Amino acid sequence: MKNTTKYLLVGLVFFLSACNEEWVDTKPNGEPTTAFFWKSEDDLNRAVAAMYQRMGSENTWGRNLFWMQNASDDVVTGRVRSESDNIKNFNITGREGSIANCWNDVYWMMNKANQVLEGAPTATGVSEAARNRALGEAYFIRAFSHFWLAYSWGHKNQGVPFDGPENPEYGKRLPPQLPSVTDNYALIIKDLEKAAELLPLFGTYGPADQGRAHKAAALGYMVKTYAYWAQYDPAKWGLIPALADRIKSEGNRALITGRGGPQANYQAVFTIASNWSSEYIWSANSGTQGGSIFPGVSLENKGWGIFNGWGYFQPTEELYEAYEKNDPRREVTILKFGDKFTYFGVERAYYSTNSLSGFQMRKYMEPYSYGKSENAGSNPMINQNGDGPSTRLNLPLMRYAEILLFKAESLIKQGKNTEAAIPLNEVRARVGLEPIASPTMDDLKHERRVELACEWTDRLADLKRWGDFDKINAPLYGRIHTNKTDPASPYEIKVIWPARSFDPAKHMAWPINPDEISRSNGVYKQTPGW
Amino acid sequence: MQKSVSNKPRIWRLYMRIGVLQWIILALVATVTYAADVMAQSILNREISVHLSDITLKKALYKIQKETEVKFVYSSKVSLDDRVSLNADDTKLFRVLDELLRPHGITYSIVDEQIILANARVDKRQAAASSSEQGIKDEVVPEDIMVNGTVYTSEDETALPGVSVVLKGAGRGTTTNVNGTFSLGVPDAQSVLVFSFVGYETQEIVVGNNTNLTVNLKVDNKLLEEVVVIGYGTVKKGDLSAAVSTVPDMAQIKNRPVLNVGGMIQGKVAGVTVVNNGGHPNQAPKVTIRGVGSRSDESVLYVVDGVPNAPYNPADVESITILKDAASAAIYGAFSGSAGVILVTTRQATAGKPSVEYVGFTGVKTAWKLPQSLTAQDEARVANLAYTNAGLRPLDGWDATKNPYAQVNRTDWIGEIFRTGIIQRHNLSINAGTGKFSTLLQARYEKDEGTLVNTFSQNLSLRFNTNYQFTNKIRLRQELFYNNNDNRGTSTESGYSGTILSAIYMPRSAAAYYEDGTFGGVGPRDSKYLGIHGDAISPLGTLMRNQPYNKANEILSVTELNISDIVPGLSYLSRFSYKQSDRQYKSFSPKRTEPGKPDNQNSLYYENNRYYQWIWENTANYSRVFGKHNLGGMVSMTAQENGSRNFNAAARGFENEADWAQFFVNATIFDQNRPSSDEWHDRNLSYVGRLSYSFADRYFLTGSYRYDIAGRLAMGYRGKGFPGVTAAWKLSSEPFFNVKGIDLLKVRASWGRIGNIGSIGRYYGYPRLSGTETYQIGDGAPRSNGYFVSSRFNTELSWETSQQTDIGLDLSILKNRLTVTADYFDKLTYDLIKRQDTDWTQTFGYDAPQINQGKIRNTGFEFSTSWRDQVGQVAYEIGGNFATLKNRVDYIDANPNSVWTHGEAWRGVLVPYRSTVGQPYYSYWLIKSAGIFQTDAEAEAYTGAKGRIQPNAKAGDLKFVDENGDGKINDQDRVYMGNAFPKITYGFTTNATWKNFDASLFLQGVGGVKLFNAFKQSTLNGTEQGYNRWDRILDAWSPNNTGSDIPIIRANDPNRNFQTNSDWYLENGDYVRLKNLMVGYTFNNLPGNVKLRVYFSGDNLLTFTKYSGMDPEVGGIGLDGGQYPVSRVFSLGVRLKL
């Protein structure tokens, strides 16, 4: 036994002295470490993919960014939700998750673009074409996210925070709030110019690459940025027509026409088949697993017992009445009582026991027409999970029609009303409406409203930049049917949303989450007025 | 910022090599028997049961010898012919022997596992006479002297009844009566009387000429000789110099229907706060020792029989020791997680004839206070009122003439989801052994059903424990433990789909099941009015559809070699433990087609997980006494590795949902869920040393040091040392100390540091990219995988350290009947590890780095006391403990305005927490409310410098306090209003036995707790999206019900009554619970040496609280969104030994 003991002790001594700090060093598996990245095109593609991640988030183009647009006169919140009501009534602190999360997610997206802008220039093992496209996509995504932040939270006297790797202090300080939102717009334009230069044309993309940023999208957002910038600097209007023309000629973008009639032309825009049509400029690409859930969010609450519609955003009587009598776009855009539509393979007439206005958006209904016998599971075009009701229909964020209307608006603003008639009437002609020889701003406002109604082009931002505050503040009307389960039931028009008190001295931009200001230790200032 | 990272790996390695050899050489020089002591101790601590009735000592010892396999050896000088009677159940052997032998003047000692009997040391005269005694042992002694006397306690001189008075060397004796007096006939003046009584030192008195004796019995200090397990060793309780607590009343606690150590400790130890995370059967309570210090994960380290994080059978727990101060926990260094260490010892195989023991209980569990939702008619009424009050037109669906369906009560959802649960445990042990080899075989089955249907946790375990005694010096212990766990839980936390909240959200008009037997939704499928209901999910469906296969197998092997007296005084222990757990999880989620929140896609999910951990620990222990100097030393080295492999896959699109079809072969969609796999390993190396010194049982000093090297940290930042020092002065042992009535008086002080490694992710030194996916690229929105950097990397991240000073006092008076322990501690945790949340905004667009920032201080006073006594045949014990805790954020950074924001939110609306210097960590930061405006005029009259303070307020709205007087309500008006962690904890226990009955009562309570009742936000709120509500809303403010504190029912909320982070939600969470009441009966005289105890136990019988939610024990940070309530349990238990 004595010997055994000795051997054991000798063994112990060996064991102990064999151990050293290297022994504890195990190496990680799975995801690559940051030290071994940017070494192949695959790396590049994955970094680029991360930039797009939030395109399909509920906090962004799924629902929450729309709460701010919901404060316009075109739509109301269709169901009781106090936080949303208070956003619509400008009665908020900025901490409300429904808007604070948008800020967080869009900045997250911007950061991923910055990561590509940092890594792609020195990536090894990649072709120059791949590098350029990646950089172009990154400039576009940075500008695109920057634009949403700028126009939502940016004020004439206080821009939104922005930083990028081209600044030497990048990462070493809080991204600084810029002096004015126009400073943000200037940087957005710079990024979009680079993106337009680097990005390929949409037409060069095969199906596997559709959805990536492309040249016309960069030009399109330049148009929109200039248009928003122009409210502070009218000189910017002059830059728009040429860009719009490039989108048409270089970008090969055009309205969808020739579908057998004005209504069919317009109807075709909002179909799965037209996800990548000539009219497409930029969309939240969507499918049965992910993408924008907006179609489900704006569908009848509980979807008549068949699918989980959320029932949130509903058109107002004002919007319905804004259309010219013979405008086919009204019926494509809005469902009213008695309107026939196909729902999971079965035709039904619209009624709603819970629509506040008596209307529902119709633009995003095509995916729900598929399937059979009102069985949701039989519909291959929708996400079966009612908690994330995306569909195969892409959510358009910018269509060529909007470019034509911006071109028209810029020409009117420059006093070239008759020139403006050309793009404006192109939009009207597609839906069979009479041309207007010398359109005024009122004509333009009307056309923009009805052509883009219920889309993410932001009617509220239009009303703000046009100074039409009385329209924001007017009470909103809806149709109150006597029997809400009867599609043929008569109705009365009544106030559904009382007059509001938008104050241009206070409410031109949305408030920042006060916690964000706390965390900045006072470096950030609240949006002026709030 | 304090930095204490040693960045000298090379030097350390050199030191390590030399150091280890030195340690071994040092260890090879000495005497004394650490292991032998343990051995003898273990023999004497064996529990035996004997029933002797008037038989000779010799026969009695023979019986014990048969029972325990312990050999008794005695010289012919020792007489064993006295007749004795004794009944002892589960009594430690030393107590039995004391009882049997002492009255007969026989002492015993242990040599080589044999118990050697000898006559007690008497004076020479008696020794000389003893040989002649041999010859007359059976003779009848004439009674010629009658001795009377009274027995008193030596301290307060009260009479002691029931004291045994025995004539030495003869079979005669008596006991004192209630007045403490006795009378006994003795043969002559040389007769020796032996006085003995439990808890007192036995005394012998030569009768002499005095026929009227006054005897003073001294308190036996054996209680203080009790051995306490500490880290890497044991120490006599009386010699403790650190703040170490053992859990009292383990016998009672083990009988209670509590299935984990956390539950056993609750309310029992001052300074240890145990808060149940509600009543989830598959979640253990959160144990916090001396307050929350860390900003991130801070969990207590459990060491079971020397093995960190080993699984165990709670029915087997013999003792629980809590290392409360950093000095005692420092021996576990970084692994003590800065929260402290709990040492658990379990039953071990003992020598003895084969015995079979069954211990078990079965109980019923019920929730004691449940909310109820509105009836269908009331829901309609409230919905219509809400719309009317908001100036909106009521929805047609709530019009009884249009939608009568919604006006009929069909389901009591709360009743549907709650049930009476059964809790049971059955534990069967077989023990047998000789001195050379002993085994313990155990099987356990336990199942704890929650009070929510289809929730449970179940364990099946098998344990094989053996002890091999090769020689006197070499011993091997082998432990094998297998456990199989199955559990099913539910989420009650979510503000959208929480199970209990869903039961309130669901309309009572909805059917629980449709006619075809499927789960019912918010209304019939063909209803035209479904939109009046919120997107509520059937809680019954949520609970019952969860039918996973969820089995985890865990295997533990511990091999422990113990060599004592390698050279005299040096013992060596090598322990290798290996643990492996394998879990397979298969879950099929059927389609949820019913209206509410449908999900028309089913899916099958599989997960396989294998975790392992091995620890090799080598410890040398040395101790020696040089006269009055007692010296001890310990060195240890531990290497450990743990790791895991994980794999999961899922698929969708099952045409058939039948059980047999729930396999991948029937899935049609494979591209929507990607399989995922993962593998990691983590290694750590530790060196531990301790030196202890005591002088003359008066002065005690120990110093310990641990150096940990953690592989997860970046090279160069891996090592850190953790020192601990303790000192004690036992005043009562001083020659000058002569205070009557004080048996022990000791003052203690300790200082130490422990670290926290749990808050740092594995492979921190190798920052990895994070994976994500997007659907933006490609026609049809396929999934594309992406990589990104998810947070900034801080190369300088160091360890979080907790430093603690403790001053304590141990006092034992009145013959140890009253013991008192008091402690004051000051614990400062610094270099806190947390994602940076100051000077870091969301505009960075990625996560903040982990940094070391800030200090949190916990100070507190702890007091525990116990009183043991016997009144006639009633033996009783009263124990109490009380602790205060003051938790403060001490420092954040150089900027005095810095705060820590906390993102925990309720439904994205309420964000009530924030921390700042001078306030408790995780304080509520709220706007004060001041009741309800009773009239519009009152609301209009609430004005400041700039007009109305709440411009949208009307009658029935909450009034908020404009704290800073700037005329508006915003963040500047928010004030800090305490937190959820108890500032006061206390427990009170009484145990009593009378004849064969025993009873115990245990009260437990907390004070200074504030809870945020977020359940009110979702259920008393008129604006919430068509959900049904808590029936308390019927008491909401209205012009006719002005006394209410619930704001007016209204479908909009322009005053932000429910969206404001106000103290309207904040409630007092203090409570006192009658935690347990137990009554037992022991059957003593069953045939065939059968022992039986039956008992009845009630847990959580009464709760006194002002909290309006279901139960005040919400857990976590106190955000109660309808937490699974802690239940009331009635159980019946049996202990049967054959």
CB atoms within 10 A of CB B931: 10
* Contacts with A95 from chain B: Cβ below 8 Å: 911
Q: Do B1059 and A19 touch (CB under 8 A)?
A: no
Q: Helix or strand or coil: residue B736?
A: coil
Question: Mean per-residue pLDDT for A382-391?
Answer: 88
Q: Do B842 and A103 touch (CB under 8 A)?
A: yes
Measured CA to CA, the distance from residue A447 to residue A424 in angstroms comes to 8
Sheet containing strand B106-111, edge to edge, reads: B71-74, B114-119, B106-111
pLDDT value, residue B275: 85
Most confident of A19-33, B70-84, B614-628: B614-628
Chain A: give the shortest CA distance to residue B762, in Å. Answer: 9
Q: Per-residue pLDDT for B141 more than 80?
A: no
Residue A2: closest C-alpha in chain B: B566
Q: Are B95 and B88 in contact (CB under 8 A)?
A: yes
* Contacts with B1028 from chain A: Cβ below 8 Å: none
The size of the A-B interface in CB pairs under 8 A is 379
Task: Give the pair of three-digit tokens for residue B297.
Answer: 């994960």
Mutate to test the interface with A, among B592, B686, B842 (most CBs of A within 10 A): B842
Chain A: give the shortest CA distance to residue B55, in Å. Answer: 44
Model confidence pLDDT, tens digit, residues B522-532 = 999 888 888 88
Measured CA to CA, the distance from residue B443 to residue B460 in angstroms comes to 8
Q: Which of A409-423, A510-524, B253-267, B358-372 has the lowest mean pLDDT?
A: B253-267
CB atoms within 10 A of CB B204: 17
Q: What is the C-alpha end-to-end distance of chain A, expressed in Å? A: 84
Burial of A340 (0-12, 13-18, 19+ CB in 10 A): exposed
pLDDT value, residue B219: 66
Measured CA to CA, the distance from residue B326 to residue B324 in angstroms comes to 7
Residue B902: closest C-alpha in chain A: A515
Measured CA to CA, the distance from residue A253 to residue A283 in angstroms comes to 14
Chain B: give the shortest CA distance to residue A375, in Å. Answer: 9
* Contacts with B619 from chain A: Cβ below 8 Å: none
Measured CA to CA, the distance from residue B1057 to residue B969 in angstroms comes to 12
- Phi–psi pair at B883, nearest 5 degrees: -145, 145
Task: Give the pair of three-digit tokens for residue A418.
Answer: 């008759």
Measured CA to CA, the distance from residue B475 to residue B437 in angstroms comes to 10
Measured CA to CA, the distance from residue B53 to residue B411 in angstroms comes to 65
Q: Which of B152-161, B327-336, B539-548, B1108-1117 has the lowest mean pLDDT?
A: B152-161
Measured CA to CA, the distance from residue B842 to residue B837 in angstroms comes to 10
Q: Which of B7-16, B801-810, B880-889, B1029-1038 has the lowest mean pLDDT?
A: B7-16
Residue B681: closest C-alpha in chain A: A26
**Selection from B1084, B1076, B1074, B1080 nearest residue B1096 by Cα:** B1080
In the stretch 376-395 of chain A, residues with CB closer than 8 A to chain B read 376-377, 383-387, 390, 392, 394
Q: Which of A192-206, B730-744, B1039-1053 has the lowest mean pLDDT?
A: B730-744
CA A175 from chain centre, in angstroms, equals: 23
Which is more confidently placed, B925 or A31? Answer: B925
pLDDT value, residue B122: 46
Task: Give the pair of three-digit tokens for residue B475.
Answer: 């011993």
Model confidence pLDDT, tens digit, residues B555-612 = 999 999 999 888 888 899 999 999 999 999 999 999 988 888 888 889 999 999 999 9
Q: Per-residue pLDDT for A464 more than 70?
A: yes
B957 contacts: CB under 8 Å, gap ≥ 6: B932, B933, B939, B950, B1047, B1048, B1055, B1057
Chain A: give the shortest CA distance to residue B963, in Å. Answer: 17
**Selection from A288, A290, A296, A266 nearest residue A279 by Cα:** A266
Inter-residue long-range contacts of B736-742, CB under 8 Å, 24+ positions, other chains counted: B740/B155, B741/B155, B741/B156, B741/B813, B741/B814, B742/B811, B742/B812, B742/B813
DSSP character string of A419-462: HHHHHHHHHHHHTTPPP-SS--HHHHHHHHHHHSTTSTT-HHHH
Q: What percent of chain A has pLDDT over 90?
A: 84
DSSP character string of B152-214: EETTT--B-TT-EEEETTSS-EEE--TTSEEEEEESSTT-EEEEE-TTB--EEEE-TT-SEEE
Model confidence pLDDT, tens digit, residues B883-898 = 999 999 999 988 888 8
Chain B: give the shortest CA distance to residue A427, in Å. Answer: 27
- Phi–psi pair at A109, nearest 5 degrees: -65, -40
Q: Per-residue pLDDT for A170 more than 90?
A: yes
**Selection from B820, B700, B801, B696 nearest residue B749 by Cα:** B700
pLDDT value, residue B516: 92
Output the average pLDDT for chain B: 86
Q: Do A285 and B778 touch (CB under 8 A)?
A: yes
pLDDT value, residue B120: 64
* Contacts with B970 from chain A: Cβ below 8 Å: 93, 514
Element (H, E) at B254: helix B250-255
Q: Do A81 and B908 touch (CB under 8 A)?
A: no
Question: Mean per-residue pLDDT for B446-464?
Answer: 95
Q: Do A521 and B561 touch (CB under 8 A)?
A: no
Measured CA to CA, the distance from residue A213 to residue A196 in angstroms comes to 10
Residue A18 near chain B (CB below 8 Å): no
> Which CA distances in Å does B44 have to B94, B104, B203, B623?
5, 19, 22, 22
Q: Which of A294-298, B63-67, B305-309, B1093-1097 has the lowest mean pLDDT?
A: B63-67
Q: Do A52 and B599 touch (CB under 8 A)?
A: no
The 8-class DSSP code of residue B335 comes to G
Question: Mean per-residue pLDDT for B1056-1076?
Answer: 94
pLDDT value, residue B31: 28
Task: Give the pair of three-digit tokens for residue B626.
Answer: 């040089």
Residue B571: closest C-alpha in chain A: A5
Residue A235 near chain B (CB below 8 Å): no
The 8-class DSSP code of residue B418 comes to B
Q: Are B317 and B345 in contact (CB under 8 A)?
A: yes
Measured CA to CA, the distance from residue A93 to residue B971 in angstroms comes to 9
CB atoms within 10 A of CB A121: 12
* Contacts with B391 from chain A: Cβ below 8 Å: 498
**Bridge partners, residue B554, by sequence:** B483, B581
User: Parallel, antiparallel, or unpaired for β B301-304 and B341-346?
Assistant: parallel
Q: Do B839 and A161 touch (CB under 8 A)?
A: no
Q: Where are the alpha helices (DSSP H) in B674-731?
A: none
* Contacts with B1059 from chain A: Cβ below 8 Å: 82-83, 86, 96
Q: Are B153 and B160 in contact (CB under 8 A)?
A: yes
Element (H, E) at B129: helix B124-135
Question: Which of B21, B393, B781 has its CB closest to that of A287?
Answer: B781
Q: Do A286 and B775 touch (CB under 8 A)?
A: yes
Burial of B515 (0-12, 13-18, 19+ CB in 10 A): exposed
Give the amino acid at B152: Y
**Site of tokens 């075109």:** A74
Residue A36: closest C-alpha in chain B: B768
Chain B: give the shortest CA distance to residue A294, in Å. Answer: 15
Chain B: give the shortest CA distance to residue A468, in Å. Answer: 24
Question: Mean per-residue pLDDT for B364-375?
Answer: 93
**Bridge partners, residue A314, by sequence:** A76
CA B860 from chain centre, in angstroms, equals: 20
* Contacts with B763 from chain A: Cβ below 8 Å: 26-28
Output the average pLDDT for chain A: 93
The 8-class DSSP code of residue B624 comes to E
Region of B1116 (left: φ > 0; alpha: ψ -120 to 50; beta: rest) is left
In the stretch 307-346 of chain A, residues with CB closer than 8 A to chain B read 307-308, 310-311
Give the amino acid at A222: M
Q: Where are the alpha helices (DSSP H) in B961-1043?
A: 1015-1019
Mutate to test the interface with B, among A379, A515, A530 (most CBs of B within 10 A): A515
pLDDT value, residue B55: 79
Q: Are A358 and B531 in contact (CB under 8 A)?
A: no
Question: Which of A86, A383, A520 has its CB closest to that of B841?
Answer: A520
> Which CA distances in Å does B685 have to A188, B721, B760?
53, 12, 17
Q: Helix or strand or coil: residue B316?
A: helix
What is the 3-state secondary structure of B268-281? CCCCEEEECCCCCC
In the stretch 265-294 of chain A, residues with CB closer than 8 A to chain B read 275-276, 284-291
Q: Helix or strand or coil: residue A144?
A: helix
Chain A: give the shortest CA distance to residue B642, in Å. Answer: 11
pLDDT value, residue A11: 58
Q: Are B1027 and B504 in contact (CB under 8 A)?
A: yes
Residue A157 near chain B (CB below 8 Å): no
**Selection from B44, B43, B72, B77 nearest residue B58 by Cα:** B72
Question: Which of B596, B639, B768 has its CB closest to that of A31?
Answer: B768
* Contacts with A26 from chain B: Cβ below 8 Å: 680-683, 711, 763
**Selection from B615, B481, B612, B467 nearest residue B557 by Cα:** B481
* Contacts with A171 from chain B: Cβ below 8 Å: 792
The 8-class DSSP code of residue B70 comes to -
Residue A466 near chain B (CB below 8 Å): no
Q: Per-residue pLDDT for B124 more than 50?
A: no
Q: Do B566 and A9 touch (CB under 8 A)?
A: yes
Residue A170: closest C-alpha in chain B: B844
Q: Are B114 and B171 in contact (CB under 8 A)?
A: no
Model confidence pLDDT, tens digit, residues A477-514 = 999 999 999 999 999 999 999 999 999 999 999 999 99
Residue A303: closest C-alpha in chain B: B531
**Site of tokens 């909290």:** B1107
Q: Helix or strand or coil: residue B1113?
A: coil
Residue A61: closest C-alpha in chain B: B776
Which is more confidently placed, B187 or A427? Answer: A427
Measured CA to CA, the distance from residue A104 to residue A124 in angstroms comes to 32
Question: Mean per-residue pLDDT for B91-100?
Answer: 79
Q: Helix or strand or coil: residue B965?
A: coil
